[in-house]
Amino acid sequence: MPRRFYTLDVFADRALAGNPLAVVLDSEGLDATAMQQIAREFNLSETVFVLPPDDGRHRARIRIFTPGLEMPFAGHPTVGTAVLLALLDHDRKPGDYLFGLEEQIGIVPCAVSLKDGSVYARFDIPALPTERGAPAATNLIAEALGLSEHQIGFENHHPTVFGTGFPYTFVPVRSLEAMGHIRINTSLWTEAFGQEGLGAAYAYTRQTAQAGSSFHARMFSPGDGIPEDPATGSAVAGLTGVIARFDDLADGTRHFRIEQGFEMGRPSLIDLTMTIKGTRLAGASIGGAAVIVSEGSLHV
């Protein structure tokens, strides 16, 4: 049976920017092994499989795969799938649409706005990030990224491990220039970033390429088939824990824009909203634009 699929570029308002995503509709009958094989065939950072929801109040159940493993939750697949379903459900009619997506981590509430040819989606992070133990030694982290130890850290920020379903080592880098010099050393990767059997590093700095951005970031996870990712929403969800820990945020709502993918020629912009109550993180949402790039049929 042919299965419809679309590809989208996510966290960008134009094609051939942002983070590419494949979304396979009509995914009934595919088991996890088949989904993993199809994700390897697409060979994008993530592929989404859309299934009927377990609870009819929600729009769909989705499963998310990298070329190497299944993810319980991920940001750019959530934004891209929400945009695609809203476009298809409403025949591209302008409006604001709300629905839930069932992911392995839980129900993810999504809001999609279709206006004047632009499409923007925002979702509430399904769980607050938790700290996942201590990172590796700073000198080892630096060496695995091809940097010197003095290029790691700024202000009071130092490496930490946070995650919302998937842990990342968050590496503060002193300057935008140093970010451009990162060259990953895969021979040291597991030792430097192999927490919980995984190995994802998210480097970030306050120096940015665009005015209006809050952080410039790069994400690497070579063990999962992702040498570098143009945009990583689940890492931004974890970044909320980093910001809440190191930055002195007053109670209220704070807005940040994270730029990523610039070194890859895939500029991506991720909008982050954090709610602080009693000096603690109480909630967050992530948003961005997405555009359809291609569509077709999958004959498997």
As annotated, the active-site residues are 46
First to last CA, the chain: 7
Buried b (16+ CB within 10 A) or exposed e, 203-230: bbbbebeeeebbbbbbbbbbbbebebbb
DSSP string, 216-244: EEEEEEGGGTEEEES--HHHHHHHHHHHH
* Structural contact between residues 249 and 243, judged by C-beta atoms closer than 8 angstroms: yes
Residue 87 phi/psi, 5-degree rounding, is -65, -45
Q: Which helix (H) or strand (E) holds 160?
A: strand 160-163
